Structure 1
Amino acid sequence: MTRHKGKLKILIFNVNWLGDVLFSTPAIKLIRKIYPHAFIACIVPPRCKEILEENPNLDEIIVFDERGIHRSIWEKLKFIKLLYRKKFNKAFLFHRSFTRALVLYLARIPERIGYYTKKRFYLLTSAIKSPDTSKMHRADYYLYIVAEHEKYTGEINFKPDFFISQNDKEIVAALLKEEGVGDNDFTVVLNPGGNWTQKRWPKENFSVLSAVLIRDYGAKIILTGAAKDKDLADEIANLSGMPLINLCGKTNLKQLAALMQKVDVVVSNDSGPLHIGSSVGAKIIGIFGPTSILLTGPYKIDNSKTISRDVGCAIPCYKQGCSDIRCMKAVTIDDVLDVIKKITGK
């Protein structure tokens, strides 16, 4: 493997989802390992910027808001001009999008590396044939682009990176104090949301789980999520008949990570927050249904436990509008309680 020492300028065009951007951080770390002296920038959508903030392997984060400010052709052209002026030498394209490949091509970046597709291969200088993704974790999928192009044969043992500050921890400590949560309380975070409903454990299950944990263990239950999840959390609290703490919309991602790191255990659907919590060492239980633990489960993390049940469906299943969701319903409250007991010793 060749080590590069010049002030090379490298651009990474990342993917769109919180969990996937987090899964890309091992590949970012590998690029930094190969090019320790390079200037490395990464493009992400606005909602994913926090995932990469404070990451020491990056020198710059560039926001590409395709659904907002960069929606029009004119704004895309201005964005392309911005990239051109930055004079990047090389770009890794983690996204399979034609549009993003075209952006890099028009920005005249000399080396453009990404996976081969029939629609865009001619826009890349290095179009890499995709490996068999049926048994490959998403993090390894991004790592493969870098390792294959760079002919890297060394050891790769990187975990996802997510960085939180002392200030984030202090904000969370103050918030918990305000909500009446003490340092010695048995505290459980429940993260009931998800980017599509098929990945959500039934709200009735979360409500019963909350009631049992409060009744049997005197737990303090905290519901987390974005502002859009507040109504769901309120429903769970009302169904439980118990005084649950609803922090939906009251934390950013950094503070959510600090919260998960601090509490005794976290129960979450397969979502970005699940992987964020895993990456900062939280004791976390992930409930999986239509998605594959092998492909998108916690990556090289010992502190995470996952629960899923085989109901005869093909996994992963991306059938939108599935009204049955029997894969999620098959995971019982007792299943989750048993894992909580094992993790916490309760």
Structure 2
Amino acid sequence: MPTPDRPLRRLGFLTIGSFDGDDPRPGHETTLEMIALGERLGFDSAFVRHRHLQFGISSPVAVLAAATQRTTRIELGTAVVPLGWENPLRLAEDLATVDVLSGGRLNPGVSVGPPMQWEHVRDALYPDTADVEDFGRERVSRLLRLVRGERASTFSGTVGIESFSERVQPHSPGLAGRMWYGAGSDSSAVWAAGQGLNLLTSNVVRSGGETDFAAIQSRQIRAYREANPAGRVSQGLVVVPTDSATPAQRERYAAYARERDARVGVPQGPAGLLFARDLVGTSAEIAERLWADAGFREVDEAVFALPFGFPHDDYVQIVTDIAGALGPALGWAPRG
């Protein structure tokens, strides 16, 4: 686990992929440019968020399919695909296809629960089955079985000139070992471990009445590792290094963090969600705060999240400083 004398092993970044609803192509293009830049800067991975019925990436798997054709080395991930919006069989086909196109670089992260704004989208999403859809963990298990190559059909053989398989095609044998689960509680972390999933942690946890974010997150990671010592764990805090930022950028980043600080340490909503503080400052300052973070000390890879709503030039500056200054301050070395 990272300490000043035990370096961070793998480093990635996460982007939301914002776009203008009246002209969506440029935003999607800049997302692909960011992923390609991440590869040039030596990042191990680039992850994209999802935003259904919003002005961010609604189809992360399609965006990553395009990214496979603009990159050769960097791993490509989703953080996370909410399975309430997906048919596991169709998603398994899409994931396997993109993994084949990428040469085995896809790292799909998924989560459970009903779709956001469920009462407003249920009739469009599941007009005939809304009342019987299962949005729990079995949906993940079904996806995993299909990705692993278990039977999807009771028929295989030839009909006329068409051949049929009983399992999802294409089949990508290594994909199941690169599946991730976005967990925010002890029980979900342990469940993910039992399923053989890797663990994605983020800047959100379920508080359970507690208010020490790092202590909660570190406990969840330890519980996961106890149940699955071979699994990978990644931490995804929002970090904004300012080493090469202009004065105007520094002020904008500081104002962004101040606005979000009000929610830190205060459980939010019926689920009691607890948010981590965004880390803004020089790479040396952020590294010092991360070394002191109990959750960070439990991982050996990180996927740092980019903040919402900033222009492309800001993101270029942030990821460049993460790769060139913050990563090395944490002992990480860019990939060639």
The two structures have a TM-score, normalised by structure 1, of 0.30
TM value normalised by structure 2: 0.31
Which structure's CA Rg is the greater one?
A: 1
Which structure exhibits the higher relative contact order, with contacts defined as CA atoms closer than 8 Å and separated by 6 or more residues?
Answer: 2
